[in-house]
Amino acid sequence: LTIGERQNYELNLKGSGQTQYSRNGDGLVTFRSAAREFLAAEYLHGLNIPTTRSLALWASDLQAWRAAPDGTNYAAPERTGLLARFGTALSLRFGTLELAAARGDSILLNQIVDFALDTIFSTSRTGEASSKRAELVLLTADRTARLAAYFDVFGFVHGVLNTDNFCLAGEALDFGPFAFVETEYDLSPNLSDRTGRYRRTKQVSAFRSAVAHLGDALGQHNSGHIFETLYENRRNELWCARFALRMNEDNARLALTIADAILAVPELDFSNTLRKLILDRIVPLELSSSPCVLEYIDRISRFERDHPVSAHKALEYALNFLNPVFVLRNSVIHDAIESFFATEDPADIQLLIEASSRPFDHEWLQKNLPSSFLEPSVQGRIPGQSLLSCSS
């Protein structure tokens, strides 16, 4: 429910009850789901990923009937909540334009295009309708490619990437059964995803498909190819930066190969292994003879020897912006929410919110977080914890 706008930001309530668009739903949100969205938004913002933000989270005594958090088919009562969030033109989703196009409403479609160009991108409204549509597709494809690249480099799996969960502003939104990759190569945290549609290795395809659908709605049928080029450039830049390497295709391929090698070893945690490798050159035993890792050690050593100032700046950037100390793990979120349910004390959730806002601050995190918050989950793929239904 949108309750206001300010400086192009749209203020929205999630879980406030039925509206005319609720169809057969009750318009409520479980507290578990609202808390997860609050935390996901704050953590992505802490990683400098474009995202909607959360303003406030309330818990209610009202119960709603939902599929159980572990994905079982029977309904179970879940405590509800209310989330206040904001984002840039939050209601303008890809699906908004698809719906207008499907209805053949070219007047509404052009009005949305004009509004988006003016509100989101601050560009002129002059020109033919077709040129403005093409401009909107290009600008949106670029922001969406940037978002896809960030998801890839940080190992974030959204879990429900349909076109209603993409906004024209290129901000991440609507976080349900999300997860950050820990040890599983082809993670899908969505218990309802029986076909693997939303798993990690298909996520970029979901981004491309969404942009292609947007382009089709606006008569720009090459938008999928435009996205691919933009995404590859963005992805290569970020992966080179995460490994503190100069930006070129060869270094990007090496970085991606190492990331895949880490994820191929079930015993290795993705984020912690990368940070130790990049910061301290600590190579896990499982990768000690890996050609790609040995090549990386050689390249980074030569970079530091031949260009010490540039190499130092690259390493500093990699550690302060692309290799977090704190990873928002589903097991930790689950424990914090369960603690609140048991005690009515939100202290653990508040601590996670604070940690999510400063994921690179090694000194603060080591001082204020329990060690269990910084270590990989030992529980594995447990329904209701690392695997979640859309309603949880």
Residues noted as catalytic:
164
Question: Is the distance from CB of 272 to CB of 365 less than 8 angstroms?
Answer: no
What angle, 0 to 180 degrees and rounded to 10, lies between the N-to-C axes of helices 330-343 and 347-356? Answer: 150
What angle, 0 to 180 degrees and rounded to 10, lies between the N-to-C axes of helices 203-217 and 223-242? Answer: 140
Dist. CA 208–CA 148, nearest whole Å? 9
Dist. CA 367–CA 371, nearest whole Å? 10
How many residues belong to the chain?
392
In sequence order, the β-bridge partners of residue 14 are 83
Q: Which long-range contacts (CB under 8 A, 24 or more apart) does 361-370 make?
A: 361/325, 362/325, 365/325, 365/326, 366/325, 369/326
- 321-332 b/e (C-beta count within 10 Å ≥ 16 → b): ebbbbbbbbbbb
Q: Which residue type does 172 have? A: A
